[in-house]
């Protein structure tokens, strides 16, 4: 009798129990489906068709790519135990390297140039933190400041006095543009998805807009960024190298005692981190077909936020990058549609508030409901946001997501700690 009672109390019950019973992949797909239904409802209520238009999602995918690459770069470094606040600086170096190589030798050279310059930033960070034991945050901030000064110095040295449009704040245009492609069947031939999108049916047209946006005119680097997500998962969680790298971020002393070359692994991870951040900068150069000073606009920090939001895992950071990319793409397409995001935020906060109250987290639940009321009031009273606020939408989304992120986030145990062999 006592055994039965114990089993009943430990077994999961209700909605929470059913969710815990689902596998990780099923939870992801269920979350995506519910989010799409919610966005579709908001689109119907607000009348803002730009929320799920193919042009919005095409721009969102393009603007997701640099954030995703930066976040993946941060994943390699932090899983190896090195906090990389310098992702923004490495991304800045990547944009300059891509602009310089691209205008001379074309888009293929731009990719190589961005990778090399970003990797140099990663190497500098590794030397400071791994070899000399500099505090990781201080080193990262220094790299961000140094990168901005270095690219200005290089531009003044290389581009001053030219008559081809270049100057101290920008490079000449690239010699060639990278190719793009569309997925067969879904986006070529008879435009069935386009016709469905124009009907503005609930959910059906929204799904057609999403699929059409994600499969039309996809750039080379966007495809590479998407493919790097499963590749990173397989490398870090399904190979011996990945196990060694993650062990350096969890317990470098134990890893060292088992024969893992901790210093070497950390160097490799941070250099890869810088190279991927530089590749994210290449995407920005490809979008504008030119290097411009200030081109990153804080996307390195947004990528770091996506990494934290994603709980230091490839799938989670992909979702965070998509969220920020969607906010960025939407503010470029429609200023009024950004106001509709307030309605979406209000509904999400209500759901979060109710969930927290059901779990007896009264303070968190009440705060979520208060912010939901404020978002709803903003949606009902604001017709169009000022341009300055609209352009700041991705950064506001970053702050909101980080403030509401799950409290179960767990960074690698040795992340940010200075490791010295034999001192522990």
Express each pLDDT in 376-408 by its tens digit.
998 888 877 777 777 777 777 767 766 665 556
Query: pLDDT tens-digit profile of 328-349?
Result: 888 887 777 888 888 888 888 8
Report which of 139, 120, 128, 131 is spatially closest to residue 264, judged by C-alpha positions: 131
Cα separation of 27 and 185, whole Å?
29
User: CA distances (Å), 329 to each of 162, 202, 379, 419, in order?
Assistant: 34, 22, 20, 41
Q: What is the pLDDT along the chain (424 residues), one digit of tens a residue?
A: 444 444 444 444 555 555 555 556 677 788 788 888 989 999 999 888 888 999 999 999 999 999 999 999 999 999 999 999 999 999 999 999 999 999 999 999 999 999 999 999 999 999 999 999 999 999 999 999 999 999 999 999 998 878 777 888 899 989 888 988 887 666 555 678 888 888 889 999 999 999 889 988 899 999 999 999 999 999 999 999 999 999 999 999 999 999 999 999 999 999 999 999 999 999 999 999 999 999 998 999 999 989 998 889 999 899 889 988 988 888 887 777 888 888 888 888 888 889 888 888 888 788 889 988 988 998 888 877 777 777 777 777 767 766 665 556 788 999 998 888 876 5
* Distance in angstroms between the alpha carbons of the first and the last residue of the chain: 51
Give residue 359's pLDDT: 83
Closest CA to 222 of 105, 111, 100: 111
Q: Beta-carbon neighbour count of residue 374 at 10 Å?
A: 14
What percentage of the chain reaches a pLDDT higher than 90? Answer: 53
Residue 204: how many other CB atoms lie within 10 Å? 13
pTM of the model: 0.90
Radius of gyration of the chain (CA): 23
Q: Which sequence spans correspond to the domains of the chain?
A: 50-182+217-333, 334-405
Q: H or E stretch including 335? A: helix 335-358
* Average pLDDT score over the chain: 87
Give the distance from CA 338 to its chain's centroid: 20
| Topology of the domain comprising 50-182+217-333 | ABC transporter involved in vitamin B12 uptake, BtuC (1.10.3470)
- For 219, which DSSP code? E
On whether the CB atoms of residues 372 and 357 are closer than 8 A, the answer is no
């Amino acid at each position: 009798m006592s055994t039965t009672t114990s089993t009943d109390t430990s077994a999961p019950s209700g909605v929470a129990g059913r969710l815990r019973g689902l596998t990780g992949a099923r939870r992801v797909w269920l979350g995506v489906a519910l989010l799409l239904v919610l966005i579709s409802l908001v689109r119907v209520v607000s009348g803002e068709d730009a929320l799920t238009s193919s042009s919005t999602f095409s721009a969102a995918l393009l603007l997701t790519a640099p954030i995703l690459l930066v976040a993946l770069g941060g994943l390699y470094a932090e899983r190896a135990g090195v906090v990389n606040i310098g992702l923004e600086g490495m991304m800045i170096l990547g944009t300059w390297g891509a602009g310089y190589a691209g205008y001379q030798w074309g888009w293929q050279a731009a990719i190589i140039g961005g990778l090399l310059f970003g990797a140099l930033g990663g190497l500098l960070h590794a030397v400071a933190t791994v070899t000399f034991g500099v505090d990781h945050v201080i080193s990262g901030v220094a790299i961000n400041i140094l990168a901005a000064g270095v690219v200005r110095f290089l531009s003044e040295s290389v581009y001053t006095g030219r008559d081809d449009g270049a100057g101290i704040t920008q490079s000449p245009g690239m010699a060639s543009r990278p190719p793009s492609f569309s997925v067969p069947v879904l986006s070529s031939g008879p435009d069935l998805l386009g016709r469905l999108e124009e009907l503005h049916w609930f959910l059906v047209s929204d799904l057609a807009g999403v699929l059409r946006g994600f499969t039309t005119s996809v750039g080379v680097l966007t495809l590479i960024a998407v493919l790097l997500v499963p590749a990173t998962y397989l490398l870090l969680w399904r190979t011996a190298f990945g196990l060694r790298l993650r062990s350096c971020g969890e317990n470098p002393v134990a890893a060292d005692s088992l024969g893992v070359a901790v210093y070497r692994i950390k160097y490799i991870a941070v250099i890869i981190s810088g190279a991927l951040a530089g590749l994210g900068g290449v995407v920005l150069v490809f979008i504008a077909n030119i290097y411009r000073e200030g081109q990153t606009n804080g996307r390195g920090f947004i990528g770091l936020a996506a990494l934290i939001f994603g709980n230091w895992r490839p799938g989670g950071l992909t979702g965070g990058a998509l969220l920020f990319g969607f906010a960025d793409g939407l503010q470029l397409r429609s200023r009024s549609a950004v106001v509709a995001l307030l309605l979406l935020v209000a509904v999400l906060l209500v759901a979060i508030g109710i969930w927290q109250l059901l779990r007896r987290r009264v303070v968190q639940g009440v705060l979520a409901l208060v912010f939901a009321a404020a978002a709803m009031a903003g949606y009902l009273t604001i017709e169009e946001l000022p341009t300055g606020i609209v352009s700041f939408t991705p950064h506001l989304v970053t702050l909101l997501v980080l403030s509401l992120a799950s409290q179960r986030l767990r960074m690698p145990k040795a992340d940010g700690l200075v490791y010295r062999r034999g001192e522990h």
